Amino acid sequence: MLELFFLLLPVGVAYGWYMGRRNLRQQLNIKQEKLSRDYFTGLNFLLSNESDKAVDLFISMLDVDDETIDTHLSLGSLFRKRGEVDRAIRIHQNLIARPSLSVAQRDLAMMELGRDYLAAGFYDRAEEIFLNMAAQVEHSDNAENELIAIYQMTKEWQKAIDITQRLSRKKQQSLKPVIAHFYCQLAEESDDNGGQIKLLRRALKQHPACGRALLALTHIYLQLSRYHDAQQMLTKLCDADAGLFADALPYAKRLASETGDDDYYRQLLIRAIDKGAGASVVVALAQQLIDDGDVKGAENLVLAALYRHPTMRGFQLLMQIHLRQAEAGQARDSLAMLEQLVEQQIRFRPSYRCCECGFPSHTLYWHCPSCKNWGSIKRIRGLDGE
């Protein structure tokens, strides 16, 4: 009997192996048939313009595991970049609801869901997610950057400043010019001159070359008749950001008018020109020389500037000087017509351009409307600019 048992044992093992393979093959066939049916159902949804149902079906066909998690995340990111934020949200919410995900995978899905909410304009939901993720070392940097973006969009400048103080020292150093703009934004929202000065001083502490803060302080000091402080701000602006000095010309002229110190005004303009302030400042100095009766000196100044850097503003002023000296006749009329054409060209051409994305503007924006960079819009250089 024992011999018969050992004789039949290999037969039983072989039969068990055969039945197992057969059962596995049947299960695979059933699964493939189901996938095939679901696939064709999804295609029908797409052909019937029921894309939402098709997306839901295709998502359900993908099993979430270590090999497909990246596929789900990439699919959600793709929908978000295409502007289909609702689908991206649905994908990432579906991921987070899966109990089979590891902690690291769920955190990645939460970060993507926060970005979905941010793209959709649900700032409170996005803020809640990123605040939670900022407490985790692996995601703190990315979460804090997203929080800074949210607070800029919602104009919560103090919260943005508080978040930057949690960043690494190296990151804080790179963001100091941006933090200075946050303080300037707070100063603009304040109605108290003392509070504005305090905030603008903090901006300069973050970024001593912040031209925006220097301009704003000059304006406040002029309003308060603190002329010595206004002079200091203008001098610092000239040295820190000469390209912005053209926007300070009204303040400089007002300061000279109220103090009667025309010599300081001329010396300040000369200093700005030496620092590379541009054609607008050259024109302002030439106009001052004309007002003082030194027409020849103004002409020589403009000619020298045109030889170095030809600009439409310089040409216009030179033609205006020649019109003063020209005698009545056809030549004078032609020169006057040419001067008017140049004036129209200057008026219609943008004065500013973003150094990052090239966004053109007739107005100085501190925050580029296109690429969202701070302090990147500068006066245009060249023939049509400075």
Per-residue model confidence as pLDDT tens digits over 112-156? 999 999 999 899 999 999 999 988 888 888 899 999 999 999 999
pLDDT of 45: 46
88-125 burial code (b ≥16 CB/10 A, e <16): bbbbbebbeeeeebeeebbbbbbbbbbbbbbbeebbeb
Look at residue 218 and tell me whether its pLDDT is greater than 80.
Answer: yes
End-to-end CA distance of the chain: give it in Å, rounded.
109
Sign of CA dihedral 140, 145, 150, 154: positive
Domain ranges of the chain: 62-167, 169-262, 278-348, 349-386
How far is residue 107's CA from residue 110's CA, in Å, rounded to a whole number? 5
The first and second tokens of residue 52, run together, are: 């939402």
pLDDT of 294: 86
Look at residue 2 and tell me whether its pLDDT is greater than 60.
Answer: no
Query: Of the candidates 146, 76, 147, 132, which has an alpha carbon nearest to the alpha carbon of residue 109?
Result: 76
pLDDT of 195: 93
- What is the average pLDDT across 343-359? 86
Q: Count how many residues are written for the chain.
A: 386
How far is residue 156's CA from residue 62's CA, in Å, rounded to a whole number? 41
- 352-354 and 360-361 strand pairing: antiparallel
Indicate if 169-262 has the same CATH topology as 62-167.
yes
> In what helix (H) or strand (E) does residue 353 lie, and over which residues does it extend?
strand 352-354
Q: Which band of pLDDT confidence, cut at 50, 70 and 90, is reported for residue 231?
A: very high
pLDDT of 95: 82
Q: What's the helix, strand, coil split of the chain in %, to 5?
A: 75, 5, 25
CATH T-level fold of 169-262 = 1.25.40
The first and second tokens of residue 287, run together, are: 């106009």
The type of residue at 384 is: D
Residue 211: CB atoms within 10 Å? 22
pLDDT of 200: 96
How far is residue 299's CA from residue 297's CA, in Å, rounded to a whole number? 5
Identify whether the C-beta of residue 220 lies closer than 8 Å to the C-beta of residue 193.
Answer: yes
- What is the average pLDDT across 326-331? 66
What is the pLDDT of the chain when averaged over all its residues?
81
- What is the average pLDDT across 188-193? 91
26-35, 232-241, 347-356: lowest mean pLDDT where?
26-35
Q: What is the CATH number of domain 62-167?
A: 1.25.40.10
How far is residue 264's CA from residue 251's CA, in Å, rounded to a whole number? 13
Instruction: Give whichever of 90-104, 196-210, 281-295 has the largest mean pLDDT.
Output: 196-210
Look at residue 21 and tell me whether its pLDDT is greater than 70.
Answer: no
How far is residue 234's CA from residue 217's CA, in Å, rounded to a whole number? 9
pLDDT of 118: 92
As separate numbers, helices (DSSP H) first and strands (DSSP E) second, the chain gives: 18, 3
Contacts 24+ apart (CB under 8 A), 185-190: 185/155, 185/157, 186/157, 186/158, 187/213, 187/216, 188/216, 189/157
Q: Does pTM top 0.85 for this prediction?
A: no
Residue 28: CB atoms within 10 Å? 10
Q: Which band of pLDDT confidence, cut at 50, 70 and 90, is reported for residue 5?
A: very low
